[in-house]
Structure 1
């Protein structure tokens, strides 16, 4: 049974009084969710967008947004994720590029983009009770449809500007089956609870929510991750497994969380970005909870490799730092730039063959990662073939940040590099070279540049440090040396304002 049929089954058969989503100490039942889904579906029907239509969701971690997600998928429409983290101008540009016939979101998120939406579509305002009202507009005739596509997710990309990744029904279903996120045949619902604390607008958070729904589990939903609410949720629901990104692992450790509060957990999965082996080991030694790293990508609708509990028991001491092994429906190989397969242990481009990819299990797909595979089949990620900075699981494109900095009249050129960070993996830092003759207080300029970035960029794209220099460090070919830029930032951190 595919995810769309499964959601329809749950809406039709789940007992009305059965709890499904906990949010801020309030439980939504299946009856309440069902009513919300009906309301949203009716609003989409009234807006004139039929089966296969692409529906933009400004997706926040709230129960009514889960209802909107279910409504779109169960009615055979396509979810197009829109990030609420974006400033209004970027969100409006995203909507315009996507050519959406309808956009659904909270009033606070629609306020700055309603004029853009209503040029060729309709804006539906969703309140906290999942009541829907039409802000304005009407869908364009012959609105674009995407038959067979479950979700279009915006990714920061690897070698260029952001792009949308279309995840087909088949890909999503393959991923759910591969990871065991399916219901037992002898019961409709489970009493187990999934704690969902990562943003649904990104693949990790989306997959966690859809996986829980598919398996019939309850969802303890958090607007965003914070240590104390997360630990409290573990204490209250006593799950055997949970998910934490590396930054979350470190935050739990740094807070000095007593092991007794996490005593129900046997394993924690960790994805979105590479988890430092010493961090995973420290968590395991402190709490007796095995950290199972996973490797995947938006393009694969989830993980294609990782650790299992039994693998951790057998191999952790020898293979700490590995991303694990290929999962059963996937195969991995390492190739040279020309596509020639490399020998065991050689570093090259990682390629994946999986039913979770857009092209299916018959073709290899090259990723942006450099890696090696050892004689025991363990995958080791050695770096990236592109220059994207992964900050706590979020990708930052240096070119996007540089363009914002260079829009300031006093800046001649800007460069952005990755500064290693103990908790987040890496953070973007920037150097700016002044226009000839530009004379102003440098501390004041840094403050202006930080304010500009906060206005134009998402929070995770804002540089952690900005330094002003008479000349950016360069290689013999006159390109900016990002290695030397990082060293320059390190030498100036104590004297330079930062974020």
Structure 2
């Protein structure tokens, strides 16, 4: 049974009094989820929105938003992801750019400057209360709303340059990704009493995949707005969870806090994805808590993970292969190629390519990633960097060019440069330097940070900005990111 049929059956047959989603220690029953989903589908039908039409969802980590996603996919329509993390002007521009005929969003989001107007300029705005009630907030769906046949989700991701793009994930891709990850029902039972924690943003592939995995397997979902150590520990203890997923930054947070071993006693395994996990971090967690950390590798374009560790592999190979991202999952092939596209010998470093039904191109086409990797003789893949300039901050991808453009919009900034500074907990953080326009007033760092906060997502805002008369340059006149980082480190050392 695929995810679309599975969601349809849950919305029609799940017992109304069964627990579905816990949020802030309060349970939403399946009856409550079904009521919200039904109201959303009724609103689509009343608006004349055809099957396979696109529906924008400003997706927050809340139960009513899970119900909306379930309703859209189950009804045969397509979820267009819109991030609530964006500043108002950027969110409004994103809505205007992708122009879905209907947008569903929370009350607070629609109240932001310019957002409701951007929605109603193209279509219908549906307001979603925290209690799950759905109301028309303005506008109307166009008579001939465009459709996106076969696509379940237009997933928000970051391109190598420019504004975020959307990857179109088909129903078949989601089904294959869930199957590859072992997230299919073990029996004909619709629901189970087991529970799984979702703390990653639903608007990103990690959070969406985990929430769909809960629904696909009938597990109860414990939904957190984000990872915060103490609330996360209480969830693990209260539900006696056996498995959780932690990004490298969260793993380090647990270790740095020296969490007592007994608070994690129920855990048997931790999975880690979204960013490369340093070998010493995964091994340190394993040695401290005797809990294996199973790394995974994937991307939005693949609807989830395509490689990873199993518990059996960890028991056999960990001492020898610590630091690897694991082996290709069933139905997935991996290879490493050179600049000319030719496959490289075993153990050579090159650009990683993937062939799987989880890609939009299908199971017969090799898809080149932006990651540099090597694959050893036993089939374990090692991620060794990126072929682009993306900065991975705690699992979130930051494009330097986007941050650079925001800084260069300031009248006193002649040129800006952005680089990734190694960070013990987050992996990397973006830092920036600006060159002052001759004859202009020298801008303050606080002023530049405020500009970034107004136009960027929180994780894209530079952790540090230095103001210079001239940016450091290579002999070819390009900005030297190596020297830029040296300048930032020196300034940090002077202010420590």
Question: Could you tell me how far apart the structure 2 residues matched to 1:304 and 1:10 are?
Answer: 27
Does 1:206 find its partner at 2:217? Answer: no
Q: TM-score, normalised by structure 1?
A: 0.97
Is the 8 Å Cα contact of residues 303 and 358 (structure 2) preserved in structure 1? yes
Post-superposition Cα deviations, 1:121-174, rounded to whole Å, max 9, x if no partner, equal 011000011111111101123211111101011111234442110000000000
Structure 1 contact 333–351 (Cα < 8 Å) conserved: yes
- Which residue pairs with 1:31 in the alignment? 31
Q: What is residue 180 of structure 1 aligned with on the other side?
A: 182
How many aligned positions are there? 494
2:83 corresponds to which residue? 83
Structure 1 runs of 4+ aligned residues shifted over 2 Å read: 158-161, 437-440, 494-497
- Report 1:104-143 matches (<5 A): 104-112=104-112, 113-143=115-145
Q: Which SS does the other structure have where 2:80 is aligned? A: strand
Q: Distance in 2 between matches of 1:114 and 1:186?
A: 43
Cα distance in structure 2, aligned partners of 1:58 and 1:159: 23
Q: What corresponds to 1:492 in structure 2? A: 491
CA–CA distance in 1 between the matches of 2:89 and 2:277?
Answer: 34
Q: Deviations over 1:234-263 (max 9, x none)?
A: 111112111011111111112221111111
- For the residues of structure 1 that align with 2:226 and 2:446, how far apart are their CA atoms? 28
Pairing of 1:202-351 with structure 2 (within 5 A)? 202-351=204-353
Match of 2:18 in 1: 18
Secondary structure at the aligned position of 1:211 is classed as helix
Matches of 2:356 and 2:494 in 1, distance apart?
50
- Alignment-derived partner of residue 457 in structure 1: 456
- The equivalent of 1:154 in structure 2 is 156
Tell me the distance in 1 between the aligned counterparts of 2:130 and 2:14. Answer: 22
**Number of the residue aligned with 2:469:** 470
1:394 corresponds, among 390, 393, 396, to: 396
Q: Distance in 2 between matches of 1:465 and 1:99?
A: 35
For each residue in 1:400-439, what CA deviation from the matched residue of structure 2 results, as whole angstroms up to 9, or x when unmatched? 1111111112111100001011111100000011111234
Identify the range of structure 1 (158-167 vs 262-271) with the bigger mean alpha-carbon deviation: 158-167
Residue in structure 2 matching 1:435, options 437, 458, 461: 437
Give unpaired runs (5+ residues) of structure 1.
none
Contact 2:246 2:272 in 1 (8 A): yes
Classify the secondary structure of the residue corresponding to 1:184. coil
Q: Tell me the residue number matched to 1:8.
A: 8
- Cα distance in 2 for partners of 1:439, 1:339 equals 49
**Are 2:418 and 2:433, in contact at CA under 8 Å, matched by a contact in 1?**
yes
Cα distance in 2 for partners of 1:489, 1:459 equals 20
> Cα offset for 1:496?
6.3
1:229, distance to aligned residue in structure 2 (A) = 0.8
In structure 2, stretches of 5+ residues that fail to align are none
Tell me the CA shift for residue 493 of structure 1: 1.4
Q: Matched residue of 2:146: which SS?
A: coil
SS of match in other structure, 1:167: strand
Tell me, what secondary structure is at the counterpart of 1:265?
Answer: coil
Q: Secondary structure at the match of 2:314?
A: helix
Give yes or no for contact 1:465–1:496 (8 Å, CA) kept in 2: no
CA–CA separation in structure 1 for the residues paired with 2:439 and 2:493:
27
